């Protein structure tokens, strides 16, 4: 158990819908990262937050957004969903951010029908 | 931009064999970290080892060992006396410094199957 929690574990929705994925980092970790794992793209970095502020952005679509709250939990919002958004979404946390290993949550498997 | 290449897509071994997973990375950074992560069939990503770019000393941790050679940009990972529980996808990973902070760049993964 990495100490990072993600909810829900599975999510099935339809095209055009909007969903929210939730992540709670390990106790004491200030950085939260979101990654997407799909068969065609592999594991890709989406976005990083550090103590409530956006720190780095990867190839995150404009339809996707995220935020980190004062209690350090984070949410990833996916809107106008398309079939291609079906993937495993991981949250990770670390403290401090650069150089330290990131600890990953169990992931949320999103299926868009 | 960082790039990680794992030459082996799949490896199949019999239990107790030693297995080496190859990894080559590309970066313009002078300071960086390299990692190996494991993704067992259950799906979670598990951190295994970390090495920074200033330390080329190779180490052994239990049945795991790694060979970091900066001159060839390689970071190979060896499992000694493999076990069925080692069956998983193994990812070679690097981070980006500077403005990319903690972003991790993953290789495409090597599927390791250990047969009893």
Minimal C-alpha gap between B76 and chain A (Å): 18
B113 vs B60, residue with greater confidence? B113
For chain A, the residues whose C-beta falls within 8 A of a C-beta of chain B are: 2, 31, 33, 35, 42-45, 48, 50, 55-56, 58, 88, 90, 92, 94, 97-107
Contacts of A31 in chain B (CB under 8 A): 102
B62, B2 in Cβ contact below 8 A? no
The answer to whether residue B111 neighbours chain A at the CB level (below 8 Å) is: no
The pLDDT score that the predictor gives to residue B102 is: 76
Minimal C-alpha gap between A28 and chain B (Å): 17
What are the contacts of B3-7 at 24+ separation with CB within 8 A? Answer: B3/B27, B3/B105, B4/B92, B4/B93, B4/B94, B4/B105, B4/B106, B4/B107, B5/B107, B5/B108, B6/B90, B6/B91, B6/B92, B6/B107, B6/B108, B6/B109, B6/B110
Contacts of A99 in chain B (CB under 8 A): 33, 52, 95
Interface contact A101-B47, CB threshold 8 A:
yes
The pLDDT score that the predictor gives to residue B97 is: 57
The pLDDT score that the predictor gives to residue B99 is: 56
Is the model's pLDDT at B32 over the cut of 80?
yes
B56 vs B46, residue with greater confidence? B46
Contacts of A48 in chain B (CB under 8 A): 101-103
**pLDDT tens by residue, chain A, 113 residues:** 889 999 999 999 999 999 999 999 999 999 999 999 999 899 999 999 999 999 889 989 999 999 999 999 999 999 999 999 999 999 999 987 667 889 999 999 999 99
Mean pLDDT computed over B55-84 = 89
Mean pLDDT computed over B4-24 = 97
Cis (ω within 30 of 0) for the bond into B2?
no
The pLDDT score that the predictor gives to residue B110 is: 98
Candidates B104, B106, B108, B111: best to mutate against A (most CBs of A within 10 A) is B104
- Report how far residue A26's alpha carbon sits from residue A71's, in angstroms, rounded to the nearest whole number: 12
Kindly report the average pLDDT of chain B as a whole number.
Answer: 90
Nearest by Cα to A39 from A106, A105, A91, A86: A86
Contacts of B76 (CB under 8 A, 6+ apart): B20, B21, B22, B23, B66, B67
Q: Residue B115: how many CB atoms within 10 A of its CB?
A: 11
Q: How far apart are the first and last CA of chain B?
A: 41
Q: How many residues does chain B have?
A: 116
The pLDDT score that the predictor gives to residue B84 is: 97
- Decide: residue B36, CB within 10 A, 0-12 exposed, 13-18 middle, 19+ buried: buried
**What is the number of CB-based contacts under 8 A between chain A and chain B?**
63
- Span B78-116, pLDDT tens digits: 999 999 999 999 999 998 655 556 789 999 999 999 999
DSSP string of B83-113? -GGG-EEEEEEEE--GGGTT-EEE---EEEE
Is the model's pLDDT at B12 over the cut of 70?
yes
HSE value, Cβ hemisphere, 13 Å, CA-based, for B93: 28
- Report how far residue B93's alpha carbon sits from residue B106's, in angstroms, rounded to the nearest whole number: 5
The CA-atom distances, in angstroms, between A81 and each of A16, A110, A111 are 5, 10, 10
């Amino acid at each position: 158990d990495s100490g990072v929690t993600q909810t829900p574990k599975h999510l099935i929705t339809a095209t055009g819908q909007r969903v929210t994925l939730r992540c709670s980092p390990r106790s004491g970790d200030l950085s939260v990262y979101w990654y997407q794992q799909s068969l065609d793209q592999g594991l890709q970095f989406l976005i990083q937050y550090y103590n409530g502020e956006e720190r780095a952005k990867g190839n995150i679509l404009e339809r996707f957004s995220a935020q980190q709250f004062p209690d350090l939990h984070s949410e990833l919002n996916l809107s106008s969903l398309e079939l291609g958004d079906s993937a495993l979404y991981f949250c990770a946390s670390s403290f401090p951010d650069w150089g330290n290993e990131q600890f990953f949550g169990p992931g949320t498997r999103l299926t868009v029908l | 931009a960082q790039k990680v290449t794992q030459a082996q897509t799949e490896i199949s071994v019999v239990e107790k064999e030693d297995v080496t997973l190859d990894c080559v990375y590309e970066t313009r950074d002078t300071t960086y970290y390299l990692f190996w992560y494991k993704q067992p069939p259950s799906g979670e990503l598990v951190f295994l080892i970390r090495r920074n770019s200033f330390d080329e000393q190779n180490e052994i941790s239990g049945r795991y060992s790694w060979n970091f050679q900066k001159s060839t940009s390689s970071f190979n990972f060896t499992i000694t006396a493999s076990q069925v529980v080692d069956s998983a996808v193994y990812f070679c990973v690097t981070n980006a410094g500077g403005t990319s902070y903690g972003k991790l760049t993953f290789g495409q993964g090597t599927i390791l199957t250990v047969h009893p």
